[in-house]
Amino acid sequence: MLLTLILSTVMLARFGSEDFFHALTFPGRITGAALLAVALTTLVGAAGVVDHWVRHSFPYSGLVALIGSFAALLTNVLILVGTVRDGDSKWYPTVLAALSAGAAWAVLAVWRTSVLIPAPKRVAAAVIVSSVIAVANFGYQNLYVPYQRETRPLITLSLGKAVLSKDRKAFSVPVDITLQNHGSVGFYVLGTEVHAMGLRVPLSRRDRLRQQWRDDAAQWSKSSEVNPLSRREVHQPGELVEAQPWMPYGQWIESSDTFATRLVVQLPMNTPYDQVAFYATASLARKDRLVLQPPLQFQGYSWDGSKTSGQVERDQKNGVDSLIYRARVHENNALDEYTRDARFVTVYWKFGPQGASVATSVARKGEENRVFTPAELRELISRYGLVDLIAGPHVRTLWDIKSQR
C-alpha cells in the first residue's frame, strides 16, 4: 500500500511539474497544477497509512489514508485510459495498471479497518465534487480541446502593375504576398510556395458545342486547375512558369502578427501565353499543439536515389519532384511526451510541369513516407493543428503588355 502511494506520488509529481511549467496551453497548466495537488494528497495519504497502522497518533489518519488512496486510484485510472488511447509505450500502461490495482486494493483495505469519518456527508460531498472536477478536466483536455473551433491565418495575394524592361523585350509582374494571423494562437510556418502558371487561351471562331463543354468539365477531376466552361475560350492545361518559397522554413507567425513580401516574375515579350495565373500556399502548425525543435533541416531530393516510399514514389512516377525537410516535434503535454514515440515532421516542397505545392506529415521515425488513411489523417491534423492555406488563382491577362512596342 505504501509503495503504491509513494510511486504514484513520484509519477504524478513528474507529470504535474512538467505540465505546470511547460505545457503549451492554459488547460495544460491547470492539469499540471491538479496533478501536483493529487501528488501532495497521495504523499499525505502515505503518511496517513504509516500512522494508521503503526503510530496511531492521529485519530483521523485512516481517513487521510483513504482519501490519498482514492485520489491515487481515480487519477491513475484516468491517466491509464489516456495512455492506452493515445500512447505508444507498453511500459507506462503496465505501471499505471499495477498502480491502479494497488490503489484499489488500498482503498478496500483501509475501508475495512472501520475508518473514523467525521461528518460523513461532508466528506462524501467533497469526494464527489473532486471526482467530478477531475473527470471534467480529463474530458476537457482529451475530448473538447482536440476538436475546438479552429483558427486559421489568412494569405492575401495581389498583383502590381507590369513593368517593361529598357529594351522592351521583356516585362516583369510584381506579386505581393501577405500572411495575417488574426487568431489567438501562433503558428509554425513549415513550408511556403508561390508559383505562376502560363495559360494559353485561344478564341474559337464559332460557338463551342455541348460535347466540348462536357470534355472540359471532365478535366476538372484530373487537374488542380479548374478552367471555366466557355462558349469561345479554349483553355489549355497550364504550364509552370516560376516557383519559389516566400518565407523561411521553420519560422513562425505570432498572434495578431503580419508578414509581407514582394516577388517579381519576369517573362519575355514574345511569351506564348495569353494569361498568367498566380498561386500562393503555406503549410502551418499551431504552436499550442506541438513544439518544433529547430532546425527544420534539408534531407535530400526525391530524385537522388535515396530510399523513398509511399507518396513520394507515386509523385516521381507522375513527374513531380520534391525537396524534403525534416525536424523533431514534441508533444504539447508531459503525458503524451513521455508515453508516445518520438515524432518528426516532414515537409515536401513539390514541383513539376503542372505546378508546385507544399505537403507535410507528422510520423514516427521510419514511417515518414507512409500514406495515412483518411481517419488517421483527420486525427493527425486535429492533434497537431496542421493547417494548409491557399490563395489564388489571381489571373493576369498579358495582351495589353504584349501589344506594346
139-198 pLDDT per residue, tens: 555 555 554 556 789 999 999 999 999 988 999 999 999 999 998 889 999 999 999 999
Of 36, 52, 35, which Cα lies nearest the Cα of 106?
A: 52
What proportion of the chain, given as a percentage, has pLDDT over 90? 38
DSSP per position, 239-287: EEEEEE--S-TTEEE-TTEEEEEEEEEEEETT-S-SEEEEEEEEEEEET
Mind listing the pLDDT tens digit for each residue in 188-240? Answer: 999 999 999 999 988 888 888 888 888 888 888 777 778 888 888 888 888 99
Residue 79 CA neighbour count, 13 Å, CB half:
31
pLDDT at 131 over 70: no
Shortest CA distance to 99 belongs to which of 82, 123, 80, 116?
80
Q: Where are the alpha helices (DSSP H) in 52-140?
A: 61-86, 91-111, 120-139
The C-alpha angle 220, 224, 227, rounded to 5 degrees, equals 50
* 3-class DSSP state of 179: strand
pLDDT in tens, 342-396: 999 999 999 998 889 999 989 988 887 777 888 888 888 888 999 999 998 999 9
Answer whether 0.95 is exceeded by the pTM.
Answer: no
Question: Residues 21-45: what's their mean pLDDT?
Answer: 86
Q: What is the CA radius of gyration of the chain?
A: 30
What distance in Å separates the CA atoms of residue 373 and residue 180, rounded to the nearest whole number? 32
Angle ∠(384,286,370) on CA atoms, nearest 5: 35
Distance in angstroms (rounded) separating the CA atoms of residues 109 and 130: 22
| Better-scored residue on pLDDT, 6 or 313 | 6
| Cβ burial 372-386 (10 Å sphere, 16+ → b, else e) | beeeeeeebbebbbb
For residue 291, the model assigns a pLDDT of 93
Q: Is it the case that residue 137 has pLDDT exceeding 70?
A: no
Residue in this structure with the C-alpha cell 514515440, named with its chain if needed: 341
